[in-house]
Structure 1
């Protein structure tokens, strides 16, 4: 970004936005798809409910058509979609036209605050040279092998995304990856896409790893279910309240399923980018270290300390209940104070304003669709589909449970791919409670995990399916490497299908077959089988002389080709031996 574009006035406005976002978060608690603060309490004009739903669907499809075809920039497409949806909402509701203050409550300021704070901190850190340093370190560990380098980056991304949130992880790693690609003369886009896919996969394993999981952990805890109102009137049953989720439940229930998806996802990525991820790059490590060393050690110590404190507070979120957005914004302000307090040009130049505006437009769009009853319309048909299967008999409950898991899992995965998974999850939380309240409380716990798996893994389906995708695309575009919707879709959608299919198998085994009380035993067995299978595969590959990274995706294709050739030549050998005997 050209520094001349920043005037003193624009710097003041940029810093003021930090304070504005913080104040918006403070005004009211956030709800995904809406910023909270003001309860809109809108009502569709009687008799126009069906028409409003179809108009909302048409607007949604129109926006996605603009994004997919790239006729206009995705930020402008989201802004146009939000504006048209607002016009439709004003037309179909009984209330007067919404004020600007009411419209701002549709924006999830928690997400905007988190992104803005982390972008500022990443911008400051980028001037210390730390990203270049980590890029060189990753190259040293890879030994020059491109595929080994990709495995290292994706593995680090998945692990960090499990213990941070995946948006923060990609904000930190995207500059490292772009710098590394420049140094090694590689195409950065395939590596970035691979990283963000594993960021969404790794983030699904814990409560704090992915925004949908944070929302589910908050909205479906015991206290949240106890305080929620049943759609049938009154409160939810004690049996449903007891199924509320905790921080540890996410690791226990989701981590085994995520573990099963890692190697197949690596195999697909290696196959899909077989040309880009093959070969080696030989560079003088000493020269790289001298050229891309730490530029400002003193600033790195200060900003690094602040970042570590921010990350520690992210971990403490389940205990302190301090909003992650506040943690990020406070950290950003502290870093700004630690730099030149009279110059905000450099610290703010890495903020992706287009990305933040995209999210604002998308939140207004999706929240308007919620008010138009579009997403409730989807939820109603999900409930009808589940009710179609099984009955209240023991055998019927088993059938209904299996159908409910598969329907919620796959609907969540597909819908999250095409509707940002944050507002989608917010909409589905009360729907999951409604389904369980109407069809049987035994459905609640499995449906919670079906929603979590579907929303997190579904985020890999398209470029706008998850916040981490959009953030990565924004930073890549700023660096001169735009990621198109179609380019991401070709790699991301198959990974979403593969991982969701594996998780379907996992959930059916654990929650349907293990319904008799053997859930824990089945999970332990699956973890054992998966771990042993990975170990044996790596050992087999290492015996063939392959590297650890190549062994991880060893599919025995060479052995299979050799076997096929042996079979083909077998008739000829038999005939030859018979002739010799004659």
Structure 2
């Protein structure tokens, strides 16, 4: 059996077992990754050290750093403060809270990134729904999808956008002007559809509502000194995230620096010392971390044997002489593939294909920026960005934010199955692609 067939078989069986949920997804992902290495499809060196085929440590350490920060901030009562503020601003009406949380999540994702955003927003959501005796699952699912929609709007909102910007020579304003409007439209339609998806069934006991409306924010603060220190540290960390390009620091480095500062200065004064400081590390969601490690190796094997690139080539090959057809094929094909595999290696495979297509269409152009910004090439970049970012809403493993939300819900005692996520995610993704198709047709075609 060839490496291509073997890697597809292992990945397919792994994916199938994740869907059935008979065995925990972390165990399955690690076993599949170990098989890829043991059978020589990827070497151990490639799995652990290759930027192209191995573990994306930028994502891993971003997650670890932010989980440590969230664990420390939780002790200050800040999430309860934000939960009470959100409830009171929405008059403790469940559907209004859902809309407000979704909008805040989308805005934060456009400013930071979707992973950081859901790590910050999920504890607030769990706190507010607990106070009102509401099931948080719908709230968390909506936030995961809002984070992916919001992240689509800007260069820094989602890693695929950063990769496309680097290859095509786009700036921050290019993404904001081109993708910002359609992200707002998609988010608006998404929020409007929530009434039919969940809003009509949302009810809260009037006594609980009255209790929440009379809560004093000051009473939720557990340690004022610790809260002040943590708020200042959060401002510093989030400012660094926004300016990471200027600082020339990867988000993972900022998250680790931030986590170290929080452990040094954010913990309670007079605490028991090293043991308590290290407890923040033991509370990291290590099952989630190892799931991502296994998933990265599995997808890296598909990249190495050429499966991802071949899929990308097929998207372009059959429509290469038809600019409109190529644009729509890349949009929908990117969404489909991003729902199944990580969008980062997929975009890495697609970028050079679009460059090659540009050269074949305009062989006389030597200037690279002019070549990649030709009127028939520009829509391909935006189709790739929209499909890769929004396609992740379809499944649990389609985006990092989805995996994190599901694991945080499970930790709080609320299971979210693959199909439960897909029942909302697939229609949202199809609707997003339809709106994106109309937008690209109106804008370029």
TM-score, with length taken from structure 1? 0.70
Look up the SS of the partner of 1:162 in the other structure: helix
Partner of residue 179, structure 2: 254
**Structure 1 residue 101: Cα displacement:** 7.2
Shift, 1:366, TM fit: 0.5
Is 1:309–2:255 an aligned residue pair? no
Q: Within 2, Cα distance between the matches of 1:82 and 1:153? A: 36
| Partner in structure 2 of residue 486 of structure 1 | 419
* C-alpha deviation, 1:483, in angstroms: 1.6
CA shift at 1:198, angstroms?
A: 0.7
State whether structure 2 residue 287 is matched by structure 1 residue 354: yes
Whole-angstrom distance in 1 between the partners of 2:378 and 2:37: 36
In the alignment, the residues of structure 2 paired with residue 432 and residue 262 of structure 1 have an alpha-carbon distance, to the nearest angstrom, of 28
Q: Which residue is equivalent to 2:95?
A: 147
| Conserved 8 A contact 2:309-2:349 | yes
Q: Alpha-carbon deviations, 1:300-322, whole Å to 9, x = none?
A: 11122111111111111232221
Q: Does 1:69 align with 2:23?
A: no
- Once the two structures are superposed, what CA deviation does each residue of 1:167-187 show, in whole Å capped at 9, x if it has no partner? 111000101101111110000
Q: 1:130-179: per-residue Cα shift (whole Å, max 9, x none)?
A: 10111111110111211111111101111111111011110001011011
Unmatched 5+ stretches in structure 2: 363-370
**Match of residue 10 from structure 2:** 59
Q: 1:465 aligns with which of 374, 398, 404?
A: 398
Match of 1:407 among 329, 343, 367: 329
Matching residue of 2:190: 265
8 Å CA contact 1:56, 1:369 repeated in 2: yes
1:377 to 307, 310, 322: 310
- Aligned partners of 2:27 and 2:140: how far apart in 1? 24
Conservation of the 8 A alpha-carbon contact between 1:379 and 1:428:
yes
**In the alignment, what sits opposite 1:432?**
354
Structure 1, unpaired ranges of 5+: 1-47, 92-96, 222-243, 391-399, 513-582
Q: Is the 8 A contact 1:122 1:350 kept in 2?
A: no
From the superposition, tell whether residues 87 and 135 of structure 1 become closer, same or farther in structure 2 (CA, over 3 Å).
same
The answer as to 2:386 corresponding to 1:453 is yes
Taking the aligned partners of 2:219 and 2:28, their CA distance within structure 1 comes to 39
Aligned counterpart in structure 2 of residue 198 of structure 1, from 135, 146, 169: 146
Moved more, 263-272 or 153-162: 263-272
Is the 1:123–1:349 contact (alpha carbons within 8 Å) kept by the matching residues of 2? no
Alignment of 1:121-132 (within 5 A): 121-132=69-80
Shift of 1:429: 2.1
Flag the 1:59–1:292 CA change in 2: closer, same or farther, 3 A. farther
Which residue of 2 is the match for residue 103 of structure 1?
A: 48
Query: What's the offset of the Cα at 1:437?
Result: 2.7
What corresponds to 1:78 in structure 2? 29
1:386 match: secondary structure: coil
Distance in 2 between the 1:286 and 1:277 partners?
18
Q: Which has the larger displacement, 70-79 or 120-129?
A: 70-79
Count of aligned pairs between the two proteins: 423
CA contact (8 A) 1:79 1:358 kept: yes
Higher relative contact order (CA 8 A, sep 6+): 2
* Distance (Å, rounded) in 2 between the aligned partners of 1:431 and 1:280: 56
User: Does 2:255 match 1:323?
Assistant: no
Once the 2 structures are TM-superposed, how far is the Cα of residue 452 of structure 1 from its aligned partner? 0.6
Partner residue, 1:170 = 118
Shift of 1:127: 0.4
Cα deviation for residue 272 of structure 1 reads 1.5
Give yes or no for contact 1:162–1:204 (8 Å, CA) kept in 2.
yes
Q: SS of the counterpart of 1:186?
A: coil
Do structure 1's residue 510 and structure 2's residue 437 form an aligned pair? no
Deviations 1:514-551 (A, max 9, x none): xxxxxxxxxxxxxxxxxxxxxxxxxxxxxxxxxxxxxx
Aligned to 1:298: 225
Look at both structures and tell me which one has the larger radius of gyration over its CA atoms.
1
- 53-62 or 326-335, which moves further after superposition? 53-62
* Distance in 1, Cα, partners of 2:258 & 2:98: 30
Contact 1:418 1:462 in 2 (8 A): yes
Q: 1:411 to 1:290 in 2, by over 3 A?
A: closer
* Secondary structure, counterpart of 2:216 in structure 1: helix
Task: Answer whether contact 2:103 2:146 (CA < 8 A) is retained.
Answer: yes
Cα deviations by residue, 1:469-525 (Å, 9 ceiling, x for unpaired): 11111211112122211111101111011011101100011111xxxxxxxxxxxxx
Q: Which residue is equivalent to 1:420?
A: 342
> If the length of structure 2 is used for normalisation, what is the TM-score?
0.90
Q: 1:279 to 1:204 in 2, by over 3 A?
A: same
Q: For 1:104 and 1:478, how far apart are their aligned partners in 2? A: 31
Q: Quote how far apart the aligned CAs of 1:211 are.
A: 2.1
Cα deviation 1:1-35 (Å, max 9, x = unaligned): xxxxxxxxxxxxxxxxxxxxxxxxxxxxxxxxxxx
- Work out the CA distance in 2 between the residues paired with 1:108 and 1:350: 22
Residues 276 and 104 of structure 1: CA distance in aligned 2, closer, same or farther (over 3 Å): farther
Shift of 1:430: 2.3
Partners of 1:506 and 1:196 in 2: CA distance: 23
Deviation at 1:102, TM superposition (A): 5.3
Q: CA RMSD in A?
A: 2.0
> Once the two structures are superposed, what CA deviation does each residue of 1:352-376 show, in whole Å capped at 9, x if it has no partner?
1111111111111101111111111
Aligned equivalents of 1:325, 1:478: Cα separation in 2: 24
